[in-house]
Structure 1
Amino acid sequence: MPEFTKSVGFIGAGRMATALARGCVESGLMTVGQLISADPSLDARHAFADQVAGVAVFDTNEPILARADIIVLAIKPQVMPDVLADIGNQVTEQQLVVSIAAGVTLKKLAKALPTDSRLIRVMPNTPCLVGEGASCFSRGSSATDEDAEDIRLVLESVGRVFEVAENQLDAVTGLSGSGPAFVYKMIEALAQGGTQMGLPEELALELASQTAKGAAQMVLTTGLSPAALREQVTSPGGTTVAGLEALAKLEGAEAFREAVVAATKRSQELGES
C-alpha cells in the first residue's frame, strides 16, 4: 500500500462519507488520525463515529477547513449552494476540493470557490458500502496528477475506479450510479420466478443474489464478453434458450438499457437546473 500522508475531511457524515472513511482505514491507506468529519445532524455524527471508531466528528465545518488537505463535499446536491456559500472564502490554494454530489458540475463548484481552486468531481455508487464500488472521477483544470492519484487511492479502498471526462459523468450516473437499483430489480424478479416455481423465498433470493454476483465476476475475471459467456450456457433447445426467448418476448434486456438512458437524461436535467 502506497504511503498516504494527506489528511481528509468530510463535509457531510452520511453513508458514502462513512464508506469512504472506513475503506481508507480498513485498507491500511490511512489512519483514523488522518480523517475528520462534520455534519449538523447528531444522528449522522453518531452513525459515522460508530462505523469509523476514533475519527473526530464535529457539528461545524470550521475544523475541516482548518485541518484537511483534501475536503470532500459528501452532501446532497440541494444543500450544495448553502455549503459552498459557507466555505467558499475559506478554502485555500493548498487544499483539494472533491465533490460527490450528483449533477453539481465543476463549473458550478469553481464559480463558488476561489479562482484556480483544485477541484475533482466524483460519481461513486452505493456498493462502496461493502467494498465493491464502481466510481468515476473527473478533474478540474487546476487539479494536478498528484491530486488525481490521491483520489484514485481513496476510491480504490472501496472498489474499482476510473477517470473520465466530465461530459461522461451523466452516463456514469445513469449506469453505475443508478444501476444497482436496476440490478436489485433483476434479482428480485429472478427470486420471484424461483418462488413461483416452488422454491422457498429465502432460498430463491439467495440463489438469485449469488447467481448475479457470480455472473458479474465471470465478466470481470475471464475477459470474455457477456455475449460470449451467454453462449457458453446456452444449448440449442435447452432451458436457457427457453428463458432467453421469454426475456426477448417481454423486451426484458431492452428495458435495462432504457433504464440507463432515462437515468442519464435525468442526471443531465439536474445538472442544468
Structure 2
Amino acid sequence: MTTIAILGAGKIGEALLSGVLAAGRTPESLMFTERYPARVTELTERYGVRGVSTEEAARTADVLVVAVKPQDIEPLLVSLAGSITSGTLVVSLAAGLPTSLYERHLPAGTPVVRVMPNTAMLVGEAMSAISPGTHATAAHLQLVEDLLSSVGKVVRVAETQQDAVTALSGSGPAYFFFLVEAMIDAGILLGLPRDVSTQLIIQSAVGAATMLRDSGEHPVALREAVTSPGGTTIAAIRELENHAVRAALLSAIEAAALRSVELGRAHD
C-alpha cells in the first residue's frame, strides 16, 4: 500500500489523517510530522499513527502532503531537498504556493500536485481543487483525488485558476459564517433569544445547502420559489439590492483572489 506522510498535523492535517483512516487506510501506512512533542503524543494516542521527523518522512513515504502554513514553507523545502527520494509525490495544501516553487527547490523531476481545500475538511465535507505540476501524471492526479475524496468533493482545474478557487471555495466557508452571524444578529434585533435565532438560521442554512446540492435546480429558481409577489421575501431582496450586497460579494471575492496572487509572488 502507498505510504503517506502528512507534513504539519494542524487542524487541516489532522482532518485529512482522520478522514483517510475512516476511509479504510491502515495506521501503518501513514505518518505525520509535528513540531510540538505533546501534539505528537496526542495524535499518536488518538489515531495510532507514528510521528516522525521531516527527514524520515521524506526518505520513506511515497506521498508527502505539505500541510504547513505558507510562511513556514522555505525551511521545510530545505529539509526536503536533501532527503526526498526520486519519484516521491509532493501534494501541497499550502494556500497560494505554486507548483513551480516546489519544483525549483526539490530534485529535478519531482511530481507536485497543488491542492486548495477548505476547512469543511474538518467535518468530511471539504471542497478541494487539484492541479498538476510539470511532472505530475494522470496517475498522480488520480491518487490525490482518491485521497481527498475521503474528506469531501474534488475537482480538477488548471493551476492558473487556483487563485480564483482560493478566493471562492478556499475562503468560502468564512463568507457563509459571516452571513449567518449577521442573520442571527437580525433575529436578536427583532426580539428573538440568541439561541432560538441561532437554531433557526443554522437549520435554514443546512436546508438551503441541501436543496442546492440535491435538487439540481439553479439558485435563481430556488430563490424565486420562496419569493411570493408582494411578500416578505421580495421586500428583503429589494433591500439587499439597494445596499449592493451582490456587488460587495463580487468585490470581496476578487480581493481575496488578488491576495492569493500576492502570496504566491512573495515566494517567487
State the TM bucket, normalised to the shorter chain.
Answer: over 0.9
**Counterpart of 1:215?**
208
Call closer, same or farther: CA 1:239–1:174 in 2, change over 3 Å: same
Query: Do the aligned residues in 1 keep the contact of 2:4 with 2:65 (CA within 8 Å)?
Result: yes
Give CA-to-partner distance per residue, 1:137-170, whole Å, 9 cap, x none: 1111211211111111111111111111001000
Query: Counterparts of 1:53 and 1:75 in 2: how far apart (Å)?
Result: 20
Query: RMSD across aligned C-alpha pairs, in angstroms?
Result: 1.3
Query: Shift of the alpha carbon at 1:207?
Result: 1.6
Query: Shift of the alpha carbon at 1:218?
Result: 1.2
Query: Do the aligned residues in 2 keep the contact of 1:14 with 1:48 (CA within 8 Å)?
Result: no
**Counterpart of 1:116?**
109
Query: Shift of the alpha carbon at 1:64?
Result: 0.8
Q: How do 1:46-85 residues align onto structure 2 when only pairs under 5 Å count? A: 46-49=41-44, 52-58=46-52, 60-85=53-78
**Counterpart of 1:15?**
11
Give CA-to-partner distance per residue, 1:105-156, whole Å, 9 cap, x none: 1111100001111110111100100111111111112112111111111111
Residue 15 of structure 2 corresponds to residue 35 of structure 1? no
Number of equivalent positions: 266
Structure 2 residue identity aligned to 1:185: F
TM-score normalised by the chain length of structure 1: 0.94
SS at match of 1:157: helix
SS at match of 1:135: strand
Query: Counterparts of 2:224 and 2:47 in 1: how far apart (Å)?
Result: 48
Residue 26 of structure 2 corresponds to residue 26 of structure 1? no
Shift >4 Å, 4+ stretches: none
What 5-or-longer segments of structure 2 have no aligned partner?
A: none
Structure 2 residue identity aligned to 1:124: P
Query: Counterparts of 1:125 and 1:14 in 2: how far apart (Å)?
Result: 13
Structure 2 residue identity aligned to 1:119: V
TM-score normalised by the chain length of structure 2: 0.95
**Counterpart of 2:137?**
144
Query: Shift of the alpha carbon at 1:27?
Result: 2.0
Query: Counterparts of 1:189 and 1:38 in 2: how far apart (Å)?
Result: 39
Structure 1 residue identity aligned to 2:126: G
Find 2:158's aligned residue among 162, 165, 176.
165
Query: Counterparts of 1:82 and 1:12 in 2: how far apart (Å)?
Result: 13
Structure 1 residue identity aligned to 2:31: I
SS at match of 1:103: coil
Structure 2 residue identity aligned to 1:8: I
Q: How do 1:110-259 residues align onto structure 2 when only pairs under 5 Å count? A: 110-259=103-252
What 5-or-longer segments of structure 1 have no aligned partner?
A: none
Query: Counterparts of 1:183 and 1:27 in 2: how far apart (Å)?
Result: 28
SS at match of 2:205: helix
